Amino acid sequence: MKNKIEVLISEEKLQARIKELAEEIKKDYNDSEVLFCSVLKGAIFFAVDLMKNYDGDALVDFVRVSSYDGENSTGKIILKIPLKEENIKDKNVVLIEDIVDTGRTFNYLVEYVKKMNPKSVKTCVMLDKPSRRVVPFKADYVGFEIEDLFVIGYGLDYDEKYRNLPYIGYINEK
């Protein structure tokens, strides 16, 4: 790689904030069972660490959607791995996403899950990029708000690369 990767959020900061988010979710749900639904592929690292820090009854499920081509959002959402209604119905669902920028995908997912009659639906995002919003959306739980940078690492990719970095970074093109 010719460009230098700059650290935006260190591994230590990520893990500390994830622990806080798990505690917030536990406080909100108390002793009720929660279904953590991770959006693949990007949110998997975040979802795993969130669940490892969650001290309560939890289930897990996965959904996969796509709306990106390289660095750009296409605006078209494609459901690649759907959820099953029998796994969602009457459950407290926490949708977990790596990043929200335009808001289109997460808004779509919330509406998609609501059609399956869950007991409740809340959203948890590792990164929120409100400057790129085209659809009004506010997550229930937010790890970090960031400026308009194309970020990589900790599940976030650039053409399927860099997901394995233990921190959130960006490519310094200078």
Q: Which is the catalytic residue, given 49, 98, 101, 128?
A: 101
Largest CA distance in the chain: 51
159 is catalytic: no
Question: Catalytic residues, which ones?
Answer: 101
